[in-house]
Structure 1
Amino acid sequence: MSGTGSTYVLIPGAWHGGWSWRPVAERLRAAGHRAVCLTLPGLGDGDDPSGIGLVDAVEHVVSEVGRLAVTDVVLVAHSWGGYPAAGAAHRLSDRVAKVVLYAAQIPVRGRSLLDDNPPEAAAMLRGLIDASPTRAIPPSLQFVQGIFMPDAEEETQRVVAELLTPQPGNYFLDALDVPTVTELGIPALYILGEDDHALPRPGAEFAARLGLEPLMIPGTHEGLLTHPDELAEAILNH
């Protein structure tokens, strides 16, 4: 999608808001494109995450694309954002020109994210949801340091941890009953960081669900913050 005038709608991963896509968005804009960074319901600063479900995230993406009034949107999703992206692509198949998945989890039809996680990880996440009065999973510095960006400087890790917001639990508990984007006939690209060890399954396994091989770039799971040049280049030129 290297032609001028494309519209990129950037969907963040769990615990993240639109702020996480800003470095990449600035580079897409500098290349002459429109870039819109979404913050999904419950993940804005001060949002109440209780009672929010995956259908709300999907609806938000669909609504924002409708507001843009364009017919050649490129959906770009990070990590858990692969779930709302899949649901929105199903609703917007006539308006989405391409879907780009960056270190994204690719849903299996009828299975929630927790259903698709290894049992030990799923049990840990369910426990955090059940222990929360708002049924949301709180972020933590330890998670950022150990999983998201273990190679970053501690100051950077602390800044990112402070920016994260609680993840609505139903985002992980709800399932989608939709085909994959490639089954819909929408062109797709899967990008993966060379040092990303945050995903519950190998990134190549998620890419294979779409019949794709991952395009490898430098960085960990937070390459959208630490390697925005390489990620923007991959989005624009592949």
Structure 2
Amino acid sequence: MTQFVLVAGAWLGSWAWRDVEPGLRAAGHGVHPLTLSGLADRQEAVAVGQRTHVQDIVDVVEGRDLRDVVLVGHSYAGIPVGQAAERIGDRLARVVFVDSNVPADGESFVSGWPDGRAGVEAAIAANDGLWPPPAAADCADQGLTEEQLARFLGGATPHPGATLTDPAVLARPLGLLPATYLTCLLDQPEPSPEVRELLAGGRWRLVTMDTGHWPMFSRPAELARVLLDAAGADARR
């Protein structure tokens, strides 16, 4: 039985996976959505940095003694998930990066935003160290219905700013991980150069969905099928 550990991106918590979970559970797998420190139901956490988020993920895997783990990281969460993946050793079956950033040793989330870094850092500085949730206009053309958008924005909470500016720490090349990268075509029709390089290494697979950046809201059943397919990838190799 595969154990899916689901980690949503900036501003979100475990609640974001509500409509994805049934498809995974119906297939007979374990499902473990988690909320990272400082977000959603864990907003009381203080002094939250990127290493905190990495440890959050490792603690769930090791604390619950999970095996055959598929780590799923959406958007920002790809950065701590990628780091946690190498720390859980042979518990890991696969990583699925959902339209996400990927960690690079010594680089941060905002390092990959050459055109938007200053704006993100200014927003964090102006909001007591937190990155405020987006406005509805920031989510246009992402395949969300009004109801889905309202649910996303209604549950979003400010994101701990240090997690976006702290550098990632990797002990080995990310391309050595067994991984699937999901590109959401409404958000970015092509993977980033960094991801294309990782895909060229032979251990990563590329899949696409014709939806926007938040498929857990816009296409949850389809996303569940993609995750189930990814979990079976190693068995077909």
User: Could you say whether these structures have the same fold, taking a TM-score greater than 0.5 normalized by the shorter chain as the test?
Assistant: yes
Counterpart of 1:130 (choices 122, 125, 134) is: 125
**Aligned equivalents of 2:197 and 2:46: distance in 1?**
31
CA distance 1:156–1:22, shift in 2 (3 Å): closer
Query: Which consecutive unaligned segments of at least 5 residues does structure 2 have?
Result: 231-237
**Alignment partner of 1:231 is 2:208:** no
1:90 equivalent in structure 2 = 86
**Alignment partner of 1:163 is 2:155:** yes
* Contact 1:218 1:227 survives alignment (8 Å): no
1:189 equivalent in structure 2 = 180
Counterpart of 1:61 (choices 43, 57, 67) is: 57
Counterpart of 2:95 (choices 73, 86, 99) is: 99
Deviating more after overlay: 52-61 vs 154-163? 154-163
Moved over 6 A (4+): none
**Aligned equivalents of 2:42 and 2:69: distance in 1?**
29
Counterpart of 2:191 (choices 203, 206, 209) is: 203
| Cα shift readout 1:162-197 (whole Å, capped 9, x = no counterpart) | 1101010011101112034432xx311111112124
**Aligned equivalents of 2:143 and 2:80: distance in 1?**
29
SS, match of residue 152 in structure 1: coil
* Contact 1:218 1:230 survives alignment (8 Å): no
Counterpart of 2:139 (choices 140, 145, 159) is: 145
**Alignment partner of 1:112 is 2:100:** no
| Percentage of identical aligned residues | 31
**Aligned equivalents of 1:70 and 1:86: distance in 2?**
17
SS, match of residue 182 in structure 1: helix
* Contact 2:179 2:205 survives alignment (8 Å): no
- 1:236: Cα distance to partner? 1.1
- 1:88: Cα distance to partner? 0.6
TM-score (ref. length: structure 1): 0.87
- 1:19: Cα distance to partner? 1.0
**Alignment partner of 1:41 is 2:32:** no
How many aligned positions are there?
Answer: 225
Task: Provide the alpha-carbon RMSD of the alignment.
Answer: 2.0
| Cα shift readout 1:1-33 (whole Å, capped 9, x = no counterpart) | xxxx11110011011111112211221001110
TM-score (ref. length: structure 2): 0.87
Letter in 2 for 1:163: G
* Contact 1:86 1:180 survives alignment (8 Å): no
* Contact 1:144 1:150 survives alignment (8 Å): no
